[in-house]
Amino acid sequence: MHDNQQYILTILQKKLQKIPLTEEEQAQLNEWLQVNEEDALLQPGADEQELLEYLQLRMDSDRNREAFEKFRSQAFTNRDVVHVKAPARMRFAWIRYAAAIIIIAGIATWFITGNRNNDRVVNNKGHRKVDIAPGHDGAILTLANGSQMVLDSLGNGVIASQNGAQVVLKNGLVQYDATGKIAAEITYNTMSTPRGRQFQLVLPDGSKVWLNAASAIKYPTTFTGKERLVEMNGEAYFEVAKDAAKPFRVKINEGLSVQVLGTNFNVNAYENEAAVKTTLLEGSVQVVAKSSVLLKPGEQAIVTQASQLAIDDKPSIDKVMAWKNGLFNFEGMRLKEVMKQLERWYDIDVVYEPGVPDIEFYGELSRNTTLIDVIAALKDSDVHFRIEGRKLIVLP
């Protein structure tokens, strides 16, 4: 029987991220719901997903408000300049959630109990919907035995021991501390960020990795052998620890890898993008596909789905690194490129109605704003938007 309030919170977050619960977790959740039966929202048949999304929004609201005060965004269409200003706060019908807030406050003291404005909006048909919060730090750690840990709600400390290393979580950063006891068999961990999450970890060799939303990296708990090999998909920024005796290699798929000794670079390898882009900031890397190329700082290797390799010697570094710096950089992006970023960061699905023009955008937006605020920045272009649940509909 678990009496740890943090345990229930972890289960709620797993449900929000659509991670299957174990039989024990489901039993514990059922028991908790029965104890709190006075809250109709938590009963069988209630809109549980809506509540979970609301709780996630509440968790982030203080940070959102702080970021909004620093909001300095501009959005440009191919014809006009739009200066984005803070929209008037919208009323939130919060009464039906009062009981839920009280209950959850008992199991998670970090939920917010302050101003409830701007949490919910009403569309032009009178249907209530949740304004979607921006993504935040969080990830799922899959251990060598297949068990998963949702890191969003775990506290600081040792969270696992894996073949010669302790896995330590400290202030939103995972790192591996060697214990000296290494088994002959290599064990692997996988760090993955669902849509709407980003995370940072320090690999066992001291290399630092930042994961963008909808990304994953697989790595050994201890680097042995002649090279340091990791596998990734999605987008990641690497700061590789120097070790001339053990080159560092990032495997992206069977025919594509990036080889380095010690350097800083970004890899964008989302499956729904037309090409894999490796951008070098410092040092040197060799990108190997059907052919290979040695990049210099400030260059970008572009590998198409047909494994054709090209070099861009003047990529926009600001645009490449915007996600790591807390920004959307839409400089020269077409509409569907912009929408792919919003899908990953806000965990939404984008649907296009017929006749939507292929607008080109320019400028920057903060990633620490709700979806409504991003739409407000883009709505003066030649396209319009409507939100239905977690679906963003693009209109002519």
Q: 59 and 138 in contact (C-beta within 8 Å)?
A: no
Which residue spans within 285-332 are E strands per DSSP?
285-288, 292-295, 300-304, 309-312, 327-329
Contacts (Cβ under 8 Å, ≥6 apart) of 383: 335, 356, 357, 359, 394, 395, 396
Q: What is the pLDDT of residue 123?
A: 41
Q: What is the pLDDT of residue 183?
A: 64
Name the pTM for this structure.
0.72
The tens-digit pLDDT sequence of the chain (396 residues) is: 444 556 777 777 777 666 777 877 787 777 776 665 444 344 444 455 555 554 555 444 444 444 333 333 333 333 233 333 222 222 222 323 333 333 333 333 323 222 323 334 434 444 445 689 999 999 999 999 899 999 987 888 998 887 778 899 988 899 998 876 766 678 899 999 999 999 999 999 999 999 999 999 999 998 988 999 999 999 999 999 999 899 999 999 988 999 998 899 999 999 999 999 999 999 999 999 989 999 999 999 999 988 899 999 999 999 999 999 999 999 999 999 999 999 999 999 999 999 998 888 888 999 999 999 998 888 767 788 999 999 999 998
Q: What is the pLDDT of residue 387?
A: 92
Which domains, and CATH codes, for the chain?
A: 5-63+75-130 (no CATH), 136-205+214-223 (no CATH), 225-315 (2.60.120.1440), 327-395 (3.55.50.30)
Q: 198 and 209 in contact (C-beta within 8 Å)?
A: no
CA distances from 16 to 50, 84, 152, 172, 199 (A): 9, 31, 12, 19, 18
Q: How far apart are the first and last CA of the chain?
A: 55
How far from chain centre, in Å, is Cα 361? 23
